[in-house]
Amino acid sequence: MTDKLIIFDTTLRDGEQSPGASMTKDEKLRIARQLERLRVDVIEAGFAASSNGDFECVKSIAEVIKDSTICSLARANDRDISRAAEALKPANSGRLHLFLATSPLHMEKKLRMTPDQVFEQARLSVRFARNLMADIEFSPEDGYRSDPDFLCRVLEAVISEGATTINVPDTVGYAIPELYGNFIKNLRERIPNSDKAIWSVHCHNDLGMAVANSLAGVKIGGARQVECTINGLGERAGNCSLEEVVMAVKTRKDYFGLELGIDTHHILAASRMVSQTTGFVVQPNKAVVGANAFAHASGIHQDGVLKARDTYEIMRAEDVGWTANKIVLGKLSGRNAFKQRLLELGVAMESEADINNAFARFKDLADRKSEIFDEDILALVSDDGAAH
């Protein structure tokens, strides 16, 4: 089994399905360029058959982006597949992503098809797609709530027809990490030709477990592709967040033992671009890209990171695009953090007594003001006649 984890970004397709997140062609192109800078392996650029606009988006991205594989979603029917293949023609490397629901609920209530009909359609659609393109991904929609026996039958057949990636969606975010990991492991063990395809995870965040489920799919299930979005953008509670899953695999390489092609230095810029484009604000305490992700406010933590950053930081802010970590001066800050800030501001205090004096006044101010800015400190010490 390969030790490379493929990062498949679907911000421009599943992310855009988030109510209020629709993007123009220019906006999508800008984000696609940023995803290429990030060295995302596969960019799902849209759902070409869903509208003329989406067709044009997929086509333009396929024309411009040359380092990532460009993918279009398609329902498992000849019209959708032909349209997607047409949009992907300019791509250096293109992928067709076919999906068809396999859970009893979706087959009966949504598709109004019998399992045998779904089986046949899945098989024939992959056969059709394979005549147009070599790189074919198949997703049994609502796969995690499907009957494993039926799923094995469908997936074995689509692999025989030439599907090169099998993606197992937890479409409604119902999975639990250990169960989802074992679900994929079980499918891979039971399907005789399972090693002919790369296995992929696609998790939604309805119970806040999309990242944990994806990682379990990788670790327990042996998946080697993760489908994710920038900032976890996506329908309802969103999709697995790219920045979190990537930094988990990178930071805990000791546990996952996997290689990534991602250049993590572009993560923050990608997050800000997607946030500004969609108007979806990133919460301050969001892992990796939130404003507080590398900020320290308590005196004990500030003292710790000033002595050695890894006391309270498990990854480096600079590795994901921040210029540095952040010491937020406030009422919880200690003398060491205050003294360090004076040095950074070029304020030279003659004696320890002067520093103690200024620190006492700083604490007094901090009791009245939630965050102390550099200007506050400069004003506070200017009366002391301190040299700048």
Footprint of ligand KIV (CB under 6 A): 14, 73, 99, 139, 141, 169, 171, 202, 204
Q: Would you say 296 is a known binding-site residue?
A: no
- CA dist 261 and 314 (Å) reads 21
Q: Which is nearer to ligand KIV, 10 or 194 (CB)?
A: 10
- CA dist 166 and 138 (Å) reads 5
Q: How far is the CB of 115 from ligand KIV (least distance, A)?
A: 18
β-strand partners of 326:
295
Q: Which is nearer to ligand KIV, 204 or 296 (CB)?
A: 204
Per the CB < 8 A criterion, the answer to whether 380 and 341 are in contact is no
Going by C-alpha positions, the residue among 340, 203, 325 that lies closest to residue 268 is 325
Binding of Zn ion at residue 137 (CB under 5 A)?
no
SS (H, E, C) 283-311: CCCCCCCCCCCCEECCHHHHHHHHHCHHH
Interface stretch with Zn ion, choices 7-15, 144-152, 172-180, 362-370 (CB under 5 A): 7-15
- CA dist 186 and 171 (Å) reads 19
Q: How far is the CB of 30 from ligand KIV (least distance, A)?
A: 23
Per the CB < 8 A criterion, the answer to whether 102 and 142 are in contact is yes
Q: How far is the CB of 178 from ligand KIV (least distance, A)?
A: 21
Residue 268 contacts which entry, ligand KIV, Zn ion, none (Cβ below 5-8 A, type-dependent): none
Q: Which is nearer to Zn ion, 139 or 302 (CB)?
A: 139
Q: How far is the CB of 170 from Zn ion (least distance, A)?
A: 9
Interface stretch with Zn ion, choices 9-17, 43-51, 101-109, 112-120 (CB under 5 A): 9-17
- 3-state secondary structure at position 134: coil
Give me Rg for the CA atoms of the chain.
25
Q: Would you say 204 is a known binding-site residue?
A: yes
Binding of Zn ion at residue 141 (CB under 5 A)?
no
Q: Side chain identity at 351, as an amino acid letter?
A: S
Q: Would you say 80 is a known binding-site residue?
A: no
Binding of Zn ion at residue 44 (CB under 5 A)?
no
Binding site as annotated, residues for Mn(2+): 14, 202, 204, 239
